[in-house]
Amino acid sequence: MPLPSALPPALAPEALPRLIDALVEQGWYLGEGVLDADLCAELHAELTALAERDALEAAGIGRGQELQLRRDIRGDAIHWLDRESLAQRRYLEAMGEVQQALNRALFLGLFEYEAHFAHYPPGAFYRRHLDSFRGRANRVVSTVGYLNPDWPEDGGGEMVLYAPDEPEREVARVRPSAGTFACFLAESVPHEVLPTRLPRASIAGWFRRNASLGGRVDPAR
């Protein structure tokens, strides 16, 4: 279903060339005010309603038969985006534009994007990890869009990015404020989510290559 033409762009147009340049130069990108404010508010309301209805599922680590629930490693709850609302469709359409731009500029062969809401209750965190392992999976580029309005300086919940070649060196600390958008190479940039003091809302997503790459099947979810 096409989106109404009167809607404002979901993604700031000037963000795309900066995003591509940053991925090439350092492997990660961070931009504030990149996502449309009204869209962030709609998505935040949708995630909040899901949490209040207990319609989220506890997030695990690993995939397929190796999936484990480890609250000592990861404490968020998730809901996969499936275009069930106009806000979801707008966000996914914007990520489609990012995918096309990355493929045109960097020839990455990205063919699919998957994403889920992520809700971190107070005290929750996600220990340092990579979103993909070299030669094993097909997640190529990770994205995080933040939905939290008026996030205070002492709210916690920052995402910390570490240098690809020096995994102990912090290169960025991302405050989870509405409109902020982060993007990084999935198999190169270690990252973690620090404990949050307040309910924390975001959308985590991944651009993927062919699911049977290297003879190893990597299921979509």
Angle of the 37-52 helix axis to the 86-106 helix axis, nearest 10: 120
Report the alpha-carbon distance of residue 186 to residue 214 in Å, rounded: 17
* Portion of the chain with pLDDT greater than 70, in percent: 86
Give the per-residue pLDDT at 1: 61
Give the per-residue pLDDT at 8: 84
Give the per-residue pLDDT at 64: 58
Check residue 74 and report its DSSP letter: B
Mapping DSSP to helix (H, G, I), strand (E, B) and coil, where does residue 193 land?
strand
Mapping DSSP to helix (H, G, I), strand (E, B) and coil, where does residue 111 land?
coil
pLDDT digits (tens, 9 = 90+) for 105-147: 999 999 999 999 999 999 999 999 898 765 555 899 999 999 9
CB 203 within 8 A of CB 144: yes
- 50, pLDDT greater than 80: yes
pLDDT digits (tens, 9 = 90+) for 90-107: 999 999 999 999 999 999
192 CB burial (10 A radius; 0-12, 13-18, 19+): middle
pLDDT digits (tens, 9 = 90+) for 174-188: 999 999 999 999 999
Report the alpha-carbon distance of residue 194 to residue 206 in Å, rounded: 21
Q: What is the pTM of this model?
A: 0.89
Mapping DSSP to helix (H, G, I), strand (E, B) and coil, where does residue 78 land?
strand
Mapping DSSP to helix (H, G, I), strand (E, B) and coil, where does residue 42 land?
helix
Report the alpha-carbon distance of residue 177 to residue 212 in Å, rounded: 36
Q: Over the chain, what is the mean pLDDT?
A: 89
